[in-house]
Amino acid sequence: MRGAVARHGIVRTLSFVWIALVILAAIFASLLPIPKPDALDPFRRLLLPGSAGHLLGTDDLGRDILSRLIYGARVSLIVGAASFVCGLIAGGAIGIVAGYAKGKVERVLMWAMDVILSFPALVLLIGLVAYVGRSLFDISAVLGFLAIPIYARIARAQTLSFTERDFVLAARASGSRPRDILLYELLPNVWPPMVAYGLVAVGLTIVVEGSLSFLGLSVSAPTPSWGGMIAGGENYLRNDPGLVLIPSAVMCLTVLAFNIAGEALGAKTSKVGRA
């Protein structure tokens, strides 16, 4: 069902538009005519969306919700991008090498990946965060590291499906060096599906970061984050549900948009190079 919806042109376009919007807003946040995200205003607490000067209202400390959403997007996007880039490059490299080399090299590499994967993620996160720290950089590094084995697995599976194909055999038969085969035969075929998956993974990472924020394990207090906003609004659910619902909706839409974009890209790339 979701696939059918994703295929529908307008949904796909809207997803890309939304992602672009979020990214642009996050980058140019300081240029936007919005109040500062940490500007406290005890006299204008818990205003409803649509109030003067506060498009989406204010939270329990009088801070503008829209502004906090936009600045909070930075956290989500940076963490998402970090895991994407880290996973794609490191995980991709490990996976392709493992898939092509096979034998002992493959076993060792994939064993290492399995070790990382088999740790209960949340426990690992809590422990790492406690030791490593809670700056944006630290969180990004941790989540980036945890993304590597997943990308590695996909890269390896993709590589395996291509190494046995005739064109790789033909390249070997023509006298190509292993390095050439990895770079020019395998890589061009492996990276598109990985990028497509990666977009979906970004959505997942955003949720993970959101959960961490909610648990108070992500970036520290003054820096707004979506999960933090949800946590902050927990106590006001009954009377002012907007505090929770608005950031939840934004997070939900963003994750959905990434999923649809990833699927669309996946469909497109599998059509182009189809044998």
Partner 1 sequence: MTIAEVPNANLLDVDGVSVIFPGRGGDTTVRAVQDVSLNVRQGENLGLVGESGCGKSSLARAIMQLPPPTSGRVRFNGTELTGLRGRELRQQRRRIQMVFQDPIASLNPRRRIGRIVSEPLRSTDVSDDVVDNALTAVGLEPGTVRKKYASELSGGQCQRVSIARALVSEPDLLICDEAVSALDVSIQAQILNLLEELRQSRGISLLFISHDLAVVRNVSDRVAVMYLGKVCELAPADEIFMRPRHPYTRLLLDSIPGRRAVGAVRPVAAVSPAAAQVVPTPETVGCPFRARCPRAEPICAESEPPLIDIGSGHMAACHFVTKPDTRESRAADQN
**Which residue ranges make up the site for partner 1 (CB under 8 A)?**
165-167, 169-177, 180, 184-185, 188-189, 192, 272-275
Dig out the tokens for 47 from the structure: 């205003």
- For residue 96, which phi and psi values (nearest 5 degrees)? -65, -45
Shortest distance, CB of residue 167 to partner 1, whole angstroms? 5
Dig out the tokens for 38 from the structure: 């940490």
Shortest distance, CB of residue 273 to partner 1, whole angstroms? 4
Residues 6+ apart with CB under 8 A from 2: 259, 263
Shortest distance, CB of residue 180 to partner 1, whole angstroms? 6
Shortest distance, CB of residue 198 to partner 1, whole angstroms? 18
Shortest distance, CB of residue 18 to partner 1, whole angstroms? 30
Contact (CB, 8 A) for 214 and 231: yes
Q: Which is nearer to partner 1, 28 or 167 (CB)?
A: 167
Task: Report in angstroms the alpha-carbon separations of 178 from 19, 42, 59, 100.
Answer: 39, 66, 59, 9
Residues 6+ apart with CB under 8 A from 116: 145, 146, 148, 149
Q: Which is nearer to partner 1, 60 or 180 (CB)?
A: 180
CB half-sphere exposure, 61, CA atoms < 13 A: 13
Query: Which value, in Å, is the radius of gyration of the alpha carbons in the chain?
Result: 22
Q: Which is nearer to partner 1, 88 or 128 (CB)?
A: 88
Q: Which is nearer to partner 1, 92 or 224 (CB)?
A: 92
Q: Which is nearer to partner 1, 46 or 187 (CB)?
A: 187
Could you give the 3-state DSSP secondary structure of residue 86? helix
